[in-house]
Structure 1
Amino acid sequence: MSFKRNKRIRFLGKILFVLYIAFIIYFLIFSDWYGRTGEMEEYHYNLVLFKEIKRFWNYRDQVGMFAMFTNLFGNVIIFMPFGFFMPMASRYRSFFSTVFYSFGLSLCVETFQLITKVGSFDVDDLLLNTIGGLAGYVMFVVCAAVRRRYVNRKKDCYRRR
Structure 2
Amino acid sequence: MSRQTKRCIKFGSFVLLILYIAVLIYVCFLSEDYGRDVVTSYYRYNFIPFKEIRRFYIYRDVVGIRAFLANLFGNVLAFMPFGFFMPILRSRLRKWYCMLGMTFLLSLMIEIIQLLTRVGSFDVDDLILNTSGGILGYLLFYIINKVRRKWNGA
Sequence identity of aligned pairs in percent?
Answer: 48
User: Residue 27 of structure 2 contacts residue 34 of structure 2 at CA under 8 Å; is this kept in 1?
Assistant: no
Aligned structure 1 segments of 4 or more residues deviating by more than 3 angstroms = none
Partner of 2:123 in structure 1?
Answer: 122
Structure 1 residue 149 displacement after superposition? 2.1
Partner of 1:140 in structure 2?
Answer: 141
1:52 aligned partner, one-letter code: E
Structure 1 residue 34 displacement after superposition? 2.1
User: Residue 100 of structure 2 contacts residue 135 of structure 2 at CA under 8 Å; is this kept in 1?
Assistant: yes
1:51-130 to 2 correspondences below 5 Å:
51-91=51-91, 92-130=93-131
Secondary structure at 2:43's aligned position in 1? coil
Distance of 2:26 and 2:128 partners within structure 1: 21
2:83 aligned partner, one-letter code: G
Partner of 1:158 in structure 2?
Answer: none
Structure 1 residue 150 displacement after superposition? 2.1
Distance of 1:74 and 1:2 partners within structure 2: 36
Distance of 1:13 and 1:116 partners within structure 2: 31
Secondary structure at 1:40's aligned position in 2? coil
Q: Can you give the 5+ residue segments of structure 2 that lack an aligned partner in the other structure? A: none
Distance of 2:107 and 2:133 partners within structure 1: 10
Distance of 2:149 and 2:98 partners within structure 1: 22
Distance of 1:105 and 1:82 partners within structure 2: 9
Aligned residues: 153
User: Residue 103 of structure 1 contacts residue 129 of structure 1 at CA under 8 Å; is this kept in 2?
Assistant: yes
Distance of 1:26 and 1:64 partners within structure 2: 24
TM-score (norm 1): 0.91
TM-score (norm 2): 0.95
Distance of 1:27 and 1:86 partners within structure 2: 20
